[in-house]
Structure 1
């Protein structure tokens, strides 16, 4: 299988290849590798220009749906050739989230684009895509969808392990089914680097490479207090958020009156914001350890801040230590969700998303000549554990 993912940072498409086998109550996952391909500059600029709070047109949405679908198709084709030796049987595509419609704490709709037909046409393989809307239709938040995979994967570890993902938005999953977006991980940091730092304005830097900018700055306690006053953080779980809330214009409003603050101090303060909101959520879950993944774990300043907030009693380790490369984990997770869909099995935990019931997720686009992996589509027992080969 190939899992395709592009997160809220919308910087690249990750294509993770896995071999998945049902073994009684266990689902055995053998990682085959990852390729990551950046959106070309023109496409990323067009996508960024269309995202809220900017205005867009249906014509632009159509063009983006097609072009992102073609980019996903190219990544899937390369992953099949380079990682699977041309033997892939199924593709699971998360697509690119462009809007998550939240009204008074309830998700009313969600839109991921990247037309699956282009992937099916290019690879000849069936594609499971459009995962989130079914959970929303069942009354859920549509996120975080990897909570089922996290629970299966961490089942059996001692204590209360909590999975943490640090993408554009941060989210956690606890063993009791609690799962929610804690707030921004990299979203506001990236926005500040692009708009407030010389490296971003003059040299096109889009993120705080190695946490170097934050490391040179000092946290401004007044600004941090203003940021922490955001009402989202006080909402009860389940809850979800995204760049519909935490975007560059939001940051401009929050920074009103702090225009003279050094750019490094702004980035340092936003980095501490992520650490504080993540740590608050982890402590509330009474975590005994944190298993982290996502692009944010490559930021040593952010990771040090998270560890400092949690203290030595709650170790924070990367998912790599448990066999899932952090950069590939979400792509692998959506491969698992696509595998479950192909077997007619639910891919959600209702308590995690707030839905009325678990749901079989996604829509299926047939492969060439109706190609479908033998033995799938119903009849399997739902696995309760995810076992990563070698761990």
Structure 2
């Protein structure tokens, strides 16, 4: 089956589309990557989205406009991915949508909201669409995240020691794929969320993020500010746990900076970069990681990656591309896998990772132009994933 996975993360800067041929070989899921295309959100849509996210107030009119505009943006990229990557022969599109709110209180997730109406994607591509993947896990008592943990577990299963998959998006999360105990996954805290917020704020909007870690590289870590940031109660919570920009946003940062106004922008960004490295490393050490495979936008920040290697003190940190999943496209490929599992009637969650009462088949299906023809349910759920250079 030829599947397109669509993803926009908590940094909400662009939409990524990755295409893959996927098939089952007995108890092994085989993924043959076909490539990725990406497109930034239009400036007006990005500004509207930023203006509506917590802690800002919004209206139902704005939610409707965003749901439609995001759906159209996803649809446009899906059409392009089908033409450029799939030769016009995609069988299925899987859309993560844009997370705009993750309702978590006292360690329990009560709801989650992703915008980007799937009907626009189905109408534009003519293909069936799987969407709304997180909600079912939340309904089953789970955190709804990190949802790609099943892919990480399948992908890293069989490696020696305790391999850990790390994603550095707006929020950082890890999946512990092996070892003596059960798999585990959780958000460690902010990856780029606070860094990006500081850069936009301290440069008056001239920069949106710390390009190549240039600001952090010129700054010095302020230990007093770092200690204050590390006092955040989230870091001490036991997994499974999730967080997001509902917590780690600009007002949160401004409150933390009170009394530290004399710090330069470079010092603030360096300190926030160290915060990300420290909290990720502490989480990885807590699970006794023996190797870390990193992906996501944060891998393009050499200062962050250098700090992370220093904090991990000898634990190898590698790019996920070394195992065949390009770091920039890994999450989009992961959602392609989740949609493939859904249409084959296979559960797409690992309860030990999300905290759900049971594993669930995820998402909702929107029929394509020619109706909905589902494949036969799989006889056996996969227990591992193999990367293949050849399509099926």
Q: CA deviation at 1:380?
A: 3.3
Return the alpha-carbon distance in structure 2 between the equivalents of residues 95 and 380 of structure 1. Answer: 30
- Structure 1 unaligned residues grouped into runs of 5+: none
Q: In structure 2, what is the equivalent of residue 184 of structure 1?
A: 190
Q: Which residue of 1 is the match for residue 347 of structure 2?
A: 346
Which stretches of structure 1, 4 residues or more, deviate above 4 A after TM superposition? none
Distance 2:287 2:20 in 1: 31
2:363 matches 1:357: no
Q: Partner of 1:248 in structure 2?
A: 250
Quickly say closer, same or farther: Cα 1:18–1:364, change in 2 above 3 A.
same
Structure 2 unpaired stretches of 5+: none
Map 1:274-313 onto structure 2 (within 5 A). Answer: 274-312=276-314
2:68, 2:6 → 1: CA distance? 16
Shift of 1:307: 0.2
Does the 8 A contact of 2:5 with 2:335 survive in 1?
yes
Secondary structure of the equivalent of 1:370? coil
2:380 maps to 381
CA contact (8 A) 1:125 1:372 kept: no
Q: CA deviation digits over 1:36-82, x for unaligned, max 9?
A: 10001000000000000000001100000000000000000000000
Q: Is the 8 A contact 1:89 1:372 kept in 2?
A: no
Deviations 1:350-375 (A, max 9, x none): 010110000000000001120436xx
Measured after TM superposition, the shift of residue 377 of structure 1 is 4.9
Query: Would you say how many aligned residue pairs link Structure 1 and Structure 2?
Result: 384
Provide the rounded CA distance (Å) in 2 between the counterparts of 1:99 and 1:188.
17
Contact 2:292–2:317 (CA under 8 A) maintained in structure 1: yes
Q: d(CA) in 2 for partners of 1:132 and 1:150? A: 17
1:193: how far off? 0.4
The SS at the match of 2:72 is: helix
1:195 aligns with 2:201: yes
Q: Which residue of 2 aligns with 1:105?
A: 107
Paired residues of 1:295 and 1:327 also in contact (CA < 8 A) = yes
Instruction: Give the Cα–Cα distance (whole angstroms) in 2 for the partners of residues 81 and 9 of structure 1.
Output: 27
CA RMSD of aligned residues (A): 1.0
Match of 1:243, SS? coil
| Cα drift, residue 306 of structure 1 | 0.4
C-alpha deviations, 1:181-239, integer Å up to 9, x for none?
00000000000000013xxx263x11101001000000000000000000000000000
**Alignment deviations for residues 137-172 of structure 1 (CA, whole Å, 9 cap, x no partner):** 000000000000000000111111000000000000
